Amino acid sequence: MSNTTSTPRIAVIGAGPGGLTCARILQQHGIAVTVHDLDASGSARAQGGTLDMQADSGQRALRAAGLLDRFHALARPEGQRVRLLDRDATVLFDAAPGIEEGYKPEIDRGRLRGLLLDSLAPATVRWGQKLTSATPLGDGTHRLDFADGTSTVVDLVIGADGAWSRVRRLLSDAIPRYTGVTFVETGLDDADTRHPELAALVGDGSMMALADSKGLVAQRNSDHHIRVYAGLRIDRDWCESLDMDDPEAVREALCGHFTGWSPALLRLITDSDGGFVNRPLFALPVPHTWTSTPGVTLLGDAAHLMSPFSGMGANLAMMDAAELAERIAAEVNLDDAVKAYEAVMLPRAAEAAEGAAEGLDSAFAPDSTAHALQHMTAFAREHQGAR
């Protein structure tokens, strides 16, 4: 089967927001697709924190997928509020974009995944399939081999398999590098009832306290849960030396790094529920590019892994997915569709990645509070949504 066939065999590797969005829009156009994911099921693991869906990217992709109304039924508009504090817990900025401009309601990752999964044809996703190798067969097709012993041959393999993508190896030798910043994650359960003072400190959306090359970030999720991240510009070995199974030792170590910070802020660490998770931040080199190759392409973190300070991660992945799926639907030839998609996606991703690197450096710098306040004030002035 050639890459000019009207019934191409398409495989998406990875059932994250980007991979599922791509599959949904392909099916909207009557194009068959299979998604392979290493998870045992769609609910096998927690999906992480909340996402803001931006109007010109994530929401645009959901509109193309025919899911925008269902998204709004699940989203939390109040979650877009942002609050900036200094190390003394003084509120420096407290604002939210208005409905008309800068509108980006929040949705939990798990709920977004459920929305996308429910929209797909039955058996679109094949769970428990970890890709072990992808082999070019010389005619633009690839053989995909999975850890469960199965294999398939496809005309197009779409790598939506995240930071440590195996599909990326077909196109690039680039390896994600440690950014120098690590987040240690914890959380507050039933925060409004069990931790009312911390819930009030965080507010309805996200709160950031930044100073001295470190920060405390708290983020509202559904069901009154607040995710908390202690961010440090620190050698990766320090974090790897911590025993994350010993919460008290982690609390003590973190509080040592936040000496002199307000006791009210430190309670985000000392009063947290459950354990801690080490999340060092990695990014691909900027720009990350490759020569367009028949039968394979990338989207999302597989293509342009960057720090979360871009504010664009899932939004970019979903926009990638929509544009790729729509190109495939519009072009007769798969290779032409991929080239057209990459010509738009790669420069856009490079620009976003540069901004993400600059944002991370500013947020974890000695004068990070001033940088963050300047940025947030400028954003609020532009959109006139501060209140």
309-323 pLDDT, tens per residue?
A: 766 789 999 999 999
Mark whether 124 and 26 lie in a shared domain. Answer: yes
**Residue 1 binned pLDDT confidence (cut-offs 50, 70, 90):** very low
Domain annotation covers residue 299? yes
Mark whether 152 and 48 lie in a shared domain. Answer: yes
With a cut of 60, say whether residue 66 has pLDDT above it.
yes
Provide CB contacts within 8 A for 223, sequence distance 6+. none
What pLDDT was estimated at residue 383? 42
The tens digit of pLDDT for each residue in 243-301 reads 999 999 999 999 999 999 999 999 999 999 978 999 999 999 999 999 999 999 999 99
Mark whether 130 and 163 lie in a shared domain. Answer: yes
Q: How many CB atoms lie within 10 A of CB 57?
A: 21
CA distance 99 to 91: 24
Residue whose entry in the numeric block shows the structure tokens 């001033």: 370
What pLDDT was estimated at residue 210? 92
Pairwise pLDDT comparison (76 vs 208), residue with the higher score: 208
What totals of helices (H) and strands (E) does the chain contain, helices first? 13, 17
**Residue 242 binned pLDDT confidence (cut-offs 50, 70, 90):** confident
- If one counts the domains in the chain, the total is 2
With a cut of 70, say whether residue 36 has pLDDT above it.
yes
To the nearest whole percent, how much of the chain has pLDDT over 70? 89
With a cut of 50, say whether residue 352 has pLDDT above it.
yes
Mark whether 126 and 187 lie in a shared domain. Answer: no
Domain annotation covers residue 156? yes
Pairwise pLDDT comparison (377 vs 64), residue with the higher score: 64
With a cut of 90, say whether residue 108 has pLDDT above it.
no
Domain annotation covers residue 84? no
What pLDDT was estimated at residue 79? 63
Distance separating the N- and C-terminal Cα atoms of the chain: 59
H or E segment to which residue 63 belongs: helix 58-64
**Residue 2 binned pLDDT confidence (cut-offs 50, 70, 90):** very low
The tens digit of pLDDT for each residue in 109-159 reads 889 999 999 999 999 999 999 999 999 999 999 999 999 999 999 999 999
What pLDDT was estimated at residue 377? 61
Question: Tokens in use for 224?
Answer: 């009154």
Cα–Cα nearest to 76, from 50, 106, 54, 52 = 106
With a cut of 50, say whether residue 93 has pLDDT above it.
yes
What pLDDT was estimated at residue 279? 92
What pLDDT was estimated at residue 48? 65
Mark whether 164 and 184 lie in a shared domain. Answer: no
CA distance 287 to 353: 8
Mark whether 214 and 305 lie in a shared domain. Answer: no
CATH number at residue 171: 3.50.50.60
Domain annotation covers residue 225? yes
What pLDDT was estimated at residue 34? 98
- Label residues 186-224 b or e (16+ Cβ within 10 Å = b): bbbeebeeebeebbebbbbbbbbbbbbbbbbbbbbbeee
CA distance 255 to 353: 31
CA distance 37 to 166: 12
Range of the domain at 272: 177-283
**Residue 367 binned pLDDT confidence (cut-offs 50, 70, 90):** confident
**Residue 95 binned pLDDT confidence (cut-offs 50, 70, 90):** confident
Domain annotation covers residue 19? yes
Provide CB contacts within 8 A for 34, sequence distance 6+. 10, 11, 12, 124, 125, 126, 152
What pLDDT was estimated at residue 98? 55
